[in-house]
Amino acid sequence: MLRLNGITKVFGGLIALEDVSFSVEDGSITGVIGPNGAGKTTLFNIVTGLYTQTTGEVYLDGQNISLFETEALAKLGLVRTFQNVELFGKMTVLENVMVGLHTKSRSGIFSSAFRLPGQIREEKLIREKSRGWLDFTGMGDLAEMTAGSLPFGKGRLLEISRALAAGPKIILMDEPAAGLNSRETLELAGLIRKIRESGVTVVLVEHDMDLVMDVCDAIVVLNLGKKLAQGTPRDIQENPDVIAAYLGEG
């Protein structure tokens, strides 16, 4: 599904990522973990086209997407959520999700301004589908609220709903459990599994070890910009290098 090959990213003189390679299996839930500053978010930013890597390639379903612009990736089925929750704050919850369907619709400025019949039909469809996604994530009753006034946990859910609306093959979540309480984290774990069951591959960067060990099939550990280990949750838990990196031994 997603393959990273020798990704290196240098900021000025600082090496943020060094020769990182791994693959994400189709239909898996893969966790990317590591101490602060390990380069996890940088990795996500490279995959989603917000940064350009210094060397290395990213492949999505065998297609080299290394130099693709961010806005081209949604159409190819790759979407992400953000660590700090990037919502469209002044728009309603429903409208946020409707933007998720942007690449699934095509009405332009002209047909929108003149409300041509095709546009009206499409608009109705977008609305229905968006409501469907809000029901999927259990936010149906908040549809008309302003997104900016949502509590943090609901904002996270909305961001995921919006990403799902784009009909992705793979969704990248940047610390989806950050700022959530334990009950919300538990619900999130359920939702992540539900997303995978619907046929979407999930990659998450996460600090919450319980969540990662609980939901992930495969884990990649980064430390100081390098890949330290890769394997099943059990392998990782028993890996002496990983333990050393986290506990600061060695």
Partner 1 sequence: MITEKRRQLLIFLIFALAALSAPFFLKGNYLLNVLIFVGINTMLAVGLNLLLGYAGQISLGHAAFFGMGAYLSGIITARYPVEPFLVIACAAACVGVIAFVIGFPILKLKGHYLAMATLGFGIIMYIIFNETVEWTGGPSGLSGIPNLRIGSWVFDNDWNNYYLVWSFTLAVMLLSINLSQSRIGRALRAIHDSEVAARVMGVRARILKVQIFTVSAVISAVAGSLYAHIMTFIAPSSFGFHFSVELLTMIVIGGLGSIYGSFLGAAILTMLPEFLRVFQDLDIIVYGLMLILMTMFMPGGLISGLESVMKILSARIGKRRDDHAQT
Residue 13 exposed, middle or buried by CB count within 10 Å (0-12, 13-18, 19+): exposed
Rule CB under 8 A: choose which of 71, 135, 238, 241 binds partner 1.
Answer: 71
Minimum separation from the CB atom of position 161 to partner 1 (A): 12
Q: Which residues 206-225 are close enough to bind partner 1 by CB under 8 A?
A: none
Please tell me whether residue 88 binds partner 1 under the rule CB under 8 A. Answer: yes
Taking the C-alpha atoms of residue 234 and residue 218, their distance in angstroms, rounded to an integer, is 9
> Helix, strand, coil proportions of the chain in percent (round to 5)?
45, 25, 30
Dig out the tokens for 152 from the structure. Answer: 């943090």
Please tell me whether residue 75 binds partner 1 under the rule CB under 8 A. Answer: yes
Pairing mode of beta strands 170-174, 201-205:
parallel
Stretch that binds partner 1, among 10-18, 74-82, 150-158, 213-221 (CB under 8 A): 74-82
Stretch that binds partner 1, among 53-61, 134-142, 162-170, 215-223 (CB under 8 A): 162-170
Please tell me whether residue 163 binds partner 1 under the rule CB under 8 A. Answer: yes
Please tell me whether residue 126 binds partner 1 under the rule CB under 8 A. Answer: yes
Taking the C-alpha atoms of residue 118 and residue 222, their distance in angstroms, rounded to an integer, is 49
Where in 93-249 does DSSP place strands (E)? 170-174, 201-205, 218-223, 226-231
Please tell me whether residue 89 binds partner 1 under the rule CB under 8 A. Answer: yes
CB atoms inside a 10 Å sphere around CB 77: 18
Interface mask (CB under 8 A) for partner 1, residues 27-66, using x and -? ---------------------x-x----------------
| Chain contacts with partner 1 (rule: CB under 8 A) | 48, 50, 69-75, 79-80, 82, 86-91, 95, 98-100, 102-103, 105, 107-109, 112-115, 119, 122-123, 126-127, 162-163, 166
